Structure 1
Amino acid sequence: MRIVRSASTLVGILFIVATVVAPSSATTPTTPHSFHIQDQWNIGGKGGWGFLAIDPAAHRLYIPRTNRISVVDTDTGKALGEIQGMSNLRDLALDDSGRYGYATDVTDGTAGFVRIFDRVSFKLIASIPTDPIPDAIIFDSATKLIFAFSYRARNVAVIDTSTNQIVSTIPLAGHPGSAIGDGKGGIFVALPARGEIQRIDAVSRKVTASWTLTPCTGPSGLAIDAQHHELFTTCEDHKLVAVDATNGQVKAIGDAPKDAGDLDFDPRLNLLFLADPAGSLTIFRRESPLRYTVLRSVNTEAGARTMVVNHKDGKAYLVTAKYGLNSGNVSEELRYRPTPIPGSFSVFVVSR
């Protein structure tokens, strides 16, 4: 499942993670405590990046790089090619046929598009206009629909993948943040400013529930355990919470860093991954429905807040770059704003 969260181009982040969770004596399947950085791939290139998508069957990692999508072989770490012809990418979704991908493109902020690309030919094949600033995007395998969330318009464009046409627009109660699907027709979106999560039924294309997450405010990042109907998100008060996806009940399960990065849940091993932009990846193990423990915290790299987990082999992929100051003919504001150094963009692979 994809997890969507805050933009990856945030820079100069220097935070320290403190992870405190409830102790547990419950039994759980044995999981080696040996998560570590297995590899680092220097991909290079210019520009920022958006949220990652992975195709485990094809062994490919898709990385939106501002105006293009980089495709990386997860077996070798080698770049396979790039999909060109876009402007300012945010998020990606992959269909379950292995053929097509979908990307949100905010352009200059005055217009929005969902870009459709061919994962075989690496070609851009269609562009669907949306309301401005489309951000999170979800493919629902049960209905074969794409859900593209517009931050500015506070709505969701529903796209039929058989025709590549918008078939419905769903209004939301606030500006959408992270979104995720359960693969069975349930779509969930966080509304950070309202401290809520809304549930959308993909079949009826309607909002079917709105849950206030008190005491959690500013929910950022979403992960899901679809089998047990449980959502995970981080809060402004540095808490990590689980939310019942059937009734919205909230329970605190641990601590989270300030401006926490992406979340992902591996259902095979009951592991929850949380990226910290200060440069660490914390892995929680669910011991029981109410108890989570920290299995391991792995040092990564400053700024590595963007992550996806391969649910086939349990490997986590994080991306970041080295940062420096602008030079050349730029404004004084931009001159002193940290920016990615061209050529330094890398993928970090965490495995057991």
Structure 2
Amino acid sequence: MPGPDGRYDYATFDETTAHLYIARGSSITDYNTKNASAPISLGQIAHGHAVLSLPRSSDLLVTSGDDSTVRFLDKKSGHQTGQISVGVDPDGAAIDADRNIAYVMNAKGGTVSVIDLASRKVMATIVLKPGLEFPALGKNGILFVNNENMNEIEIVDTREMRVEEAIALSGCTGPSGLAYDAASDRLISACANGKAAIISAGNRKQLGLLDIGTKPDAVILDAQRRRAYIPCGGNGELDEISLASVPAVLKRIPTEIGTRTGAMDSRTGELYLPSARFVQAPGIKHPPMIPGSFHVLIINPDKQN
């Protein structure tokens, strides 16, 4: 699926409407996957990172990194319905639907902004460490957050608003994507050095490492089919991981260089992976995108060898 030029980050799939939303540099790209219509752009943001559908609302929550705000956008019109200031460089976010609370990871600030979604106000700020990446909510309101600077997972008991001892990730450099599997009570953390760390959430212990591709930025959980997927942008592969008692890499599905995040329609198992082509520039961390090359890959892992 083609789309407008510009940087891209996290994505989310709304199963109630079959719309795919992707956080972009200056807006949200909205795909209606039920038809072949062109995508539309929603709102105005300053370096979008996370985009999430709000419970009991027709709005999206978007983290806007360069101006340290969270924006609320109407899904249909793209009209901004609210804006609040948070910590420095908001990146990943998670929502506790039962409590109607959002948690926003402020990467450079090293804090978590706790947002009451009813009033759309910051109700508390939790101080952690700079380098915060993607979060995952576990049992009983425990918030786990990857820290790419410290190579560890920060832990917050959100019910008691208490910071707990972090989990060191041995052999994992630059953890970014993170997912929590409730059935096994385990976390999967994607590491920039080509490893996936498996962690017992209850025991707070690392159980092992799996070999994956390089430069991942997301872990996409398929709890129904007992799998997790890690898009690895460094070498262009999608790694399928079994969530069985002994996790293992089942498949390495070819994608494209730069394909590092995505979202899933859990009803069908299809994955939507933002991608683009880039100028070959050795030694440059973020090479420029080739104009007109942004697109979304659609992959059904069950149809891949």
Number of the residue aligned with 1:51: 10
* Partner of residue 311 from structure 1, selected from 266, 269, 280: 266
Q: Determine if contact 1:70/1:79 at 8 Å carries over to the other structure.
A: no
Paired with 2:21 and 2:217, the residues of 1 have a C-alpha distance of: 18
Deviates more, 1:86-95 or 1:50-59: 86-95
Number of the residue aligned with 1:282: 239
Q: Secondary structure at the match of 2:262?
A: strand
Share of identical aligned residues, percent? 23
The CA RMSD measured in Å over matched residues stands at: 2.4
* Correspondence list, 1:285-296, <5 A: 285-286=242-243, 288-294=244-250, 296=251
Q: Determine if contact 2:110/2:129 at 8 Å carries over to the other structure.
A: yes
Q: CA deviation at 1:92?
A: 1.4
Number of the residue aligned with 1:265: 221
Q: CA deviation at 1:215?
A: 4.3
Q: CA deviation at 1:230?
A: 0.9
Q: CA deviation at 1:341?
A: 2.3
Q: CA deviation at 1:232?
A: 0.1
Number of the residue aligned with 1:63: 22
Q: Determine if contact 1:201/1:207 at 8 Å carries over to the other structure.
A: yes
Paired with 2:5 and 2:93, the residues of 1 have a C-alpha distance of: 24
Number of the residue aligned with 1:156: 112
* Partner of residue 2 from structure 2, selected from 18, 42, 58: 42
Q: Determine if contact 2:105/2:134 at 8 Å carries over to the other structure.
A: no
Paired with 1:344 and 1:238, the residues of 2 have a C-alpha distance of: 26
The answer on 1:116 being equivalent to 2:67 is: no
Number of the residue aligned with 1:81: 40
Q: CA deviation at 1:137?
A: 1.3
Which digits, 9 at most, give the CA deviation of each residue in 1:18-72, with x for residues without a partner? xxxxxxxxxxxxxxxxxxxxxxx112x2211121111112101001221111110
Q: CA deviation at 1:195?
A: 2.2
| Equivalent residue letter for 2:262 | M
Paired with 1:207 and 1:337, the residues of 2 have a C-alpha distance of: 34
Paired with 2:73 and 2:239, the residues of 1 have a C-alpha distance of: 33
Paired with 1:92 and 1:233, the residues of 2 have a C-alpha distance of: 20
Paired with 1:220 and 1:71, the residues of 2 have a C-alpha distance of: 24
| Equivalent residue letter for 2:289 | P
| Equivalent residue letter for 1:349 | I
Number of the residue aligned with 1:324: 279
Paired with 1:145 and 1:182, the residues of 2 have a C-alpha distance of: 14
Number of the residue aligned with 1:102: 61
Change (3 A) 1:71 1:235: closer
Change (3 A) 1:195 1:80: closer
Q: CA deviation at 1:77?
A: 4.6
Paired with 1:253 and 1:244, the residues of 2 have a C-alpha distance of: 12
Q: CA deviation at 1:316?
A: 1.0
Deviates more, 1:341-350 or 1:205-214: 205-214
| Equivalent residue letter for 1:281 | L
Paired with 1:155 and 1:227, the residues of 2 have a C-alpha distance of: 29
The answer on 1:189 being equivalent to 2:145 is: yes
Q: Secondary structure at the match of 1:340?
A: coil
Change (3 A) 1:218 1:106: closer
Larger Rg: 1
Paired with 1:183 and 1:77, the residues of 2 have a C-alpha distance of: 39
Which digits, 9 at most, give the CA deviation of each residue in 1:182-203, with x for residues without a partner? 4863321011222221222333
Paired with 1:49 and 1:183, the residues of 2 have a C-alpha distance of: 31
Which digits, 9 at most, give the CA deviation of each residue in 1:216-239, with x for residues without a partner? 343231122123211101335532
Q: CA deviation at 1:275?
A: 0.9
Paired with 1:237 and 1:323, the residues of 2 have a C-alpha distance of: 21
* Correspondence list, 1:139-218, <5 A: 139-182=95-138, 185-218=141-174
Paired with 2:161 and 2:286, the residues of 1 have a C-alpha distance of: 42
Number of the residue aligned with 1:349: 298
Q: CA deviation at 1:338?
A: 3.2
